[in-house]
């Protein structure tokens, strides 16, 4: 059993078709095998309010400006932070979260064109100094990600229906975030096999495990 006086927050980021859902499930199993109590959640979502706001944001017929979209996301994030993330980490759980604030910089910043500085001000207001301990950025060329998403099937949501230019801006914004925060954000080439990618992800988590109980 791993002694974790304080839990950790690990976030998975990336565009369409990079395999976040698959890998977050595998990482949950991996951490559980290490004797760690794990909580898996997602953004937007993770709470009753967050899931309700998620449904609204993903509706095709929604007419929503970029800044309104950003504010709704941060509303859901505020609830998740206070109701789920902070309490879980305080009781020693490791949290795996499918997307977090880096996604807002990528989608609403890069995709919608909101200046990063404006998002940063809101991030500071909502989160203060709260940040993930590790962010795993699954990166894939846009065309390959779209091919995977199409093969996966299912109904595309409002974000998935955006054009290639929108998706490329998202990818480049993610890569910009990684360059700005190279210690926290680890880019992982998502073009390989599931096993190969999972090995790389687990390697990054092993380094976090070895870093001690209190970062």
CATH number at residue 32: 3.40.50.300
Residue 3 lies in a domain: no
- Cα 92 to its chain centre, rounded Å, is 20
Q: Report pLDDT for 4.
A: 44
Residue 112 lies in a domain: yes
Tokens at 23, concatenated: 């890998």
Asked if 168 contacts 108 with a C-beta cutoff of 8 angstroms, the reply is: no
Tokens at 121, concatenated: 């001000």
Is pLDDT at 114 greater than 70 in this prediction? yes
Residue 127 lies in a domain: yes
Residues 6+ apart with CB under 8 A from 32: 38
Is pLDDT at 2 greater than 70 in this prediction? no
Domain containing 134 equals 8-210
Q: Report pLDDT for 27.
A: 98
Q: Report pLDDT for 61.
A: 73
Q: Report pLDDT for 155.
A: 66
Gap between the Cα atoms of 176 and 204, Å rounded: 20
Gap between the Cα atoms of 71 and 51, Å rounded: 15
Residue 22 lies in a domain: yes
Q: Report pLDDT for 156.
A: 64
Residue 181 lies in a domain: yes
pLDDT tens for 9-58 read 999 999 988 999 999 999 999 999 999 999 999 999 999 999 999 999 98
Is pLDDT at 125 greater than 70 in this prediction? yes
Closest CA to 140 of 23, 50, 33: 23
pLDDT tens for 130-147 read 999 999 999 999 889 888
Cis peptide before 115 (omega within 30 of 0): no
Gap between the Cα atoms of 111 and 95, Å rounded: 27
Q: Report pLDDT for 213.
A: 44
Residue 161 lies in a domain: yes
Residue 48 lies in a domain: yes
Average pLDDT, the chain: 92
Number of domains in the chain: 1
Give the count of beta carbons closer than 10 Å to the beta carbon of residue 130. Answer: 15
Residue 1 lies in a domain: no
The residue that leads in pLDDT, 129 or 210, is 129
Among 30-34, 43-47, 106-110, 154-158, the least confident range: 154-158
Asked if 205 contacts 28 with a C-beta cutoff of 8 angstroms, the reply is: no
């Amino acid at each position: 059993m791993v002694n974790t006086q304080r839990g950790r927050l690990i976030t998975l980021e990336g565009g369409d078709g990079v395999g976040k859902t698959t890998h977050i499930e595998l990482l949950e199993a991996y951490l559980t095998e290490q004797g760690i109590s794990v909580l898996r959640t997602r953004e937007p979502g993770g709470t009753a309010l967050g899931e309700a706001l998620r449904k609204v944001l993903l509706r095709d017929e929604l007419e929503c400006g970029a800044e309104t979209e950003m504010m709704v996301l941060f509303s859901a994030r505020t609830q998740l932070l206070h109701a789920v993330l902070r309490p879980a980490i305080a009781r020693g759980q490791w949290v795996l979260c499918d997307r977090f604030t880096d996604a807002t910089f990528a989608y609403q910043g890069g995709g919608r064109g909101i200046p990063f500085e404006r998002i940063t001000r809101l991030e500071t207001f909502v989160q203060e100094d709260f940040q993930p301990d590790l962010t795993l950025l699954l990166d894939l060329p846009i065309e390959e990600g779209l091919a995977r998403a199409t093969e996966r099937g299912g109904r595309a949501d409002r974000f998935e229906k955006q054009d290639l230019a929108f998706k490329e801006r998202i990818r480049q914004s993610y890569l910009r975030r990684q360059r700005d925060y190279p210690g926290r954000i680890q880019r992982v080439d998502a073009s390989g096999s599931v096993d190969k990618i999972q090995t790389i992800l687990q390697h990054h988590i092993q380094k976090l495990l070895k870093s001690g109980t209190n970062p």
